[in-house]
Amino acid sequence: MKDFKGTIFAHIVAVLVVAVWGTTFVCSKVLITHGMEPASIFFFRFLMAYVCIIFVSHKRLFASNLLDELTLLCLGMMGGSLYFLSENMALKYSTASNVGILVGTTPLLTALILALFYKSERMTLRQVCGSLVAFVGMVLVILNGQLVLHLNPLGDALALGASLTWALYSLCMKRVMGRYSVDFITRKVFGYGLLTILPYFIWVSPLQSSWQLLSTPVVAGNLLFLGFVASLGCYLVWNWVMARIGAVTATNYIYSQTLVTMAVATIVLHERITLMAVAGAVILIVGMWRMKN
């Protein structure tokens, strides 16, 4: 009974984490409209999270062996620098709809990749059908009445790359979770995420660090939310959730992130919701229900 309650709690936490992550797109959009670059947003949110987590995870510096340390380096890249750079750069070359749909393939890619390496993570036929239905619903929500997609090879490839990096993050996490504490793994993700973003600032675009901009209340408020809640808190509990209910099951909750983004964007950015988006939301919820039953 205790284990059952723990599993139910993990599912509830997964929903809450995805709900928070659904608001981060709006937060990032607000920061960008105020003059911040995507790479700078990522750097400051991970820097705040890293500084805080050091206070609770500082006794152990490195993993038990070089292979595990390299795996943690991959986690920092796949779940940090590469994911955020590829996703945000994709928005420069492609439409938001294209990027949202392609990044939304993350649960499907994660299930496929993990199934190749772990039999325990293979989805049942019911889960596969539910996942496909949820994906269709998510596409309708993202399109929100827009029936024409404008293909852009570079931007769309970057968006698909973002989806792939998060799937690989789940694969790498599967290898180290249970062998190291959640706070140690999360600290490594933040640390290596910051380390691997530095070449971008050196060779592509310098770090934007204007104190006048960063001290603006709306900028500071959104950065604090992204750093402490969406990064520090959510990465910690998400890594625990994956260890508890499995990477595939946890990642499937990402579909519902679109619903949160739509709701928050409507309230904060006053974006219009069409009948197509409402229908998509219903289909998405049905698909996710099918995955659980």
Check whether 101 has a pLDDT greater than 90.
no
| Spatial distance between the Cα atoms of 241 and 65, rounded to a whole number of angstroms | 25
Report yes or no: 133 and 289 within 8 Å, Cβ to Cβ.
Answer: no
Domain range list for the chain = 2-292
Report yes or no: 31 and 266 within 8 Å, Cβ to Cβ.
Answer: no
pLDDT band with cut points at 50, 70 and 90 for residue 146? low
Check whether 73 has a pLDDT greater than 70.
yes
CB-facing half-sphere around the CA of 262: CA atoms within 13 A: 27
Averaged pLDDT for residues 55-73: 91
Check whether 4 has a pLDDT greater than 70.
no
- DSSP string for 100-135: HHHHTTHHHHHHHHHHHH-GGGPPPHHHHHHHHHHH
- DSSP string for 144-194: TT-------HHHHHHHHHHHHHHHHHHHHHHHHBTTB-HHHHHHHHHHHHH
* pLDDT confidence of residue 126: 78
On the 0-12 / 13-18 / 19+ scale of CB atoms within 10 A, 200 is middle
Of 80-94, 169-183, 242-256, 270-284, highest mean pLDDT: 169-183
- Which residues lie closer than 8 Å to 280 by C-beta, 6 or more apart? 136, 137, 138, 139, 140, 141, 142, 143
Check whether 292 has a pLDDT greater than 70.
no
On the 0-12 / 13-18 / 19+ scale of CB atoms within 10 A, 141 is buried
The share of the chain scoring above pLDDT 90, in percent, equals 33
User: What phi and psi values does residue 177 have, to the nearest 5 degrees?
Assistant: -70, 140
Averaged pLDDT for residues 56-85: 92
Residue 135's nearest CA partner among 264, 22, 286 is: 286
Better-predicted residue by pLDDT, 9 or 133:
9
| Spatial distance between the Cα atoms of 98 and 139, rounded to a whole number of angstroms | 9
Residue 74's nearest CA partner among 158, 164, 157 is: 164
Averaged pLDDT for residues 90-97: 68
Check whether 281 has a pLDDT greater than 90.
no
| Spatial distance between the Cα atoms of 41 and 29, rounded to a whole number of angstroms | 10
* pLDDT confidence of residue 152: 72
Report yes or no: 76 and 50 within 8 Å, Cβ to Cβ.
Answer: no
Stretch among 9-13, 48-52, 92-96, 268-272 having the lowest mean pLDDT: 92-96
* pLDDT confidence of residue 43: 94
